[in-house]
Amino acid sequence: MAGKEFTVDLNKPLVFQVGHLGETYQDWVHTPIMTEESPRFFKSDFMEMLTRTVWWVVPIVWLPVAFYFIKMSYTMGLPLPIVAILSVFGAFVWTFLEYCFHRFLFHLDTHSYWGNTFHYLIHGCHHKHPNDGLRLVIPPAEAAILAVMFWNLYGILFTLSIRPVMFGGGLIGYVIYDMIHYYVHHGQPTKQSIKTLKKYHLNHHFRIQNKGFGITTTLWDKVFGTLPKTKAAEKSG
């Protein structure tokens, strides 16, 4: 946990320490500590509270919002079959956004003080302490900021009646993403499809961290060439 000139003290709030690691931050953050709970982030109790979220908060908060917007498109006159199709398409679009966020934002190669600090807050903490169930799903305050951004973006991309259902479908996709992400870390899946996703994601954490960015699907890793090789393929290659 020691950089060339700085050592992180896990007994003190972490967030404003990690920036001092500079170029050693990436090695530090991708060396996991396998405890059930990560150290304190902030000295402020209020700020600390905002960083911890139990998994069931996500569907409770966002599913009603999603269905509200989907219903809005229906009340605007879109036929029910079209609403259903666009809801599914909106969730599919989320899988692409999920991939882009994970690859290009959550895995930024940072070295500066504020770059390291930002990265640790949005994703680095999850790689450093992957077993912390309270810092795994996206906190509602952070998700709300992203939701507002995408609502405004969708206002540019879609018509007045299509915008709400695409947004609502995307929210459903997001909820599915966070639930699968939590489950592959803390659940014991019995279905082979979920077992495969669990193995795939844990492989991203503990073996090849610069590949395997999909959580709900491996589709976009296959499309963009970031599908990690299996151990057998690596040995044969």
The pLDDT tens digits of the residues spanning 76-118 come to: 999 999 999 999 999 999 999 999 999 999 999 999 999 999 9
Domain contains 230: no
Q: With 50 as the cut, is the pLDDT of residue 3 above it?
A: no
- Whether 91 is covered by a domain: the verdict is yes
* Average pLDDT rounded to a whole number, residues 15-29: 95
Q: What is the pLDDT of residues 126-173, one digit of tens each?
A: 999 999 999 999 999 999 999 999 999 999 999 999 999 999 999 999
Taking the CA atoms of residue 30, residue 36, residue 41 and residue 44 in that order, the dihedral angle to the nearest 10 degrees is 170
Number of domains in the chain: 1
CA distance 63 to 179: 12
The answer to whether residue 232 sits within a structural domain is: no
And the tokens for 218? 């491996």
**Per-residue pLDDT band at 6 (split at 50, 70, 90):** confident
Instruction: Report pLDDT for 5.
Output: 74
Work out the pLDDT band at 50, boundaries 50, 70, 90.
very high
pLDDT tens readout for residues 174-211: 999 999 999 999 999 999 999 999 999 999 999 999 99
Q: What is the mean pLDDT of residues 38-65?
A: 96
Q: Are 136 and 106 in contact (CB under 8 A)?
A: no
Could you tell me the residue range of the domain that residue 27 belongs to?
A: 14-224
Q: Is the pLDDT of residue 236 over 70?
A: no
Note whether residue 145 is domain-resident: yes
pLDDT number for residue 91: 98
For residue 196, the model assigns a pLDDT of 95
**Who contacts 82 (Cβ-Cβ below 8 Å, separation ≥6)?**
none
d(CA 198, CA 84): 29
Residue 233 covered by a domain: no
- Position 7 in a domain: no
In DSSP terms, 2 is beta-bridged to: 7
pLDDT score of 2: 44
Distance CA 195, CA 113 (A): 38
> Is 66 within a domain?
yes
Residue 149 lies in a domain: yes
